[in-house]
Homo-oligomer: A and B are copies of this chain.
Amino acid sequence: MLSPQDLAAKVGATLFAVDAASKDFLQMELLACEPGRARMRMKVREPMLNGHQICHGGLIFTLADSTFAFACNSHNKVTVAAGCSIEFLKPAHLDDVLTCEGVEQVLQGRHGIYDMQVSNQRGEVVALFRGKSTSIQGTVIAQEAGPA
């Protein structure tokens, strides 16, 4: 039987390994996956720039949405996003390194609320994100799984 910490870490590693969008396409790193929390990092690369030559806001959202996914799946129940909101506070530029920290605010039955904060390498807040999750049937990894 895994501790909640070990379970969250294992769920995170398992999901991340098959998350082509986060890992390969956007080249995010999963820095931490803990019970109800996660932390990810993404560098702004040239393909991520929009017509104003700043990072596409959708890709900043995607970093937050990925972090949200790891935080809300960390309890090993398959959980999806029902809705999200984001406030954009500062633009992100080429070569900025964005870190997203996310934490569970409320989890009641199948519904949770999670807050994400995206900051740049100078510690400036780039965006605040709030996600609402719903768990569906199934577990991410087999419940009885022992340590890897």
Chain A interface (Cβ < 8 Å from any Cβ of B): 14-22, 24-25, 46-53, 55-59, 61-66, 69, 73, 78, 80-91, 105-106, 108, 111, 113, 115, 125, 128, 130, 132
Given the contacts A83-B85, A83-B86, A21 and B58 also touching, CB distance less than 8 Å: yes
CB distance from A55 to the nearest CB of B (A): 8
> Are A58 and B57 neighbours in the complex by a CB distance under 8 Å?
no
- How long is the Cα–Cα vector from A128 to B115 in the complex, in angstroms? 11
A58 in contact with B61 given A21-B50, A47-B25, A88-B81 (CB within 8 Å): yes
**Chain A contact residues, majority secondary structure:** mixed
**Distance in Å from the Cβ of A46 to the closest Cβ of chain B?**
6
Partner of A130, one of B55, B65, B130: B130
* A/B interface sample: 6 pairs, CB < 8 A: A15-B51, A52-B80, A61-B62, A61-B84, A80-B91, A84-B86
Of A50, A88, A113, A132, most B-chain CB atoms within 10 Å: A50
Tell me if A69 and B83 are in contact (CB < 8 A).
no
Residue of B nearest to A56 (CB): B21
Q: Would you call B62 and A59 a contact (CB within 8 A)? A: yes
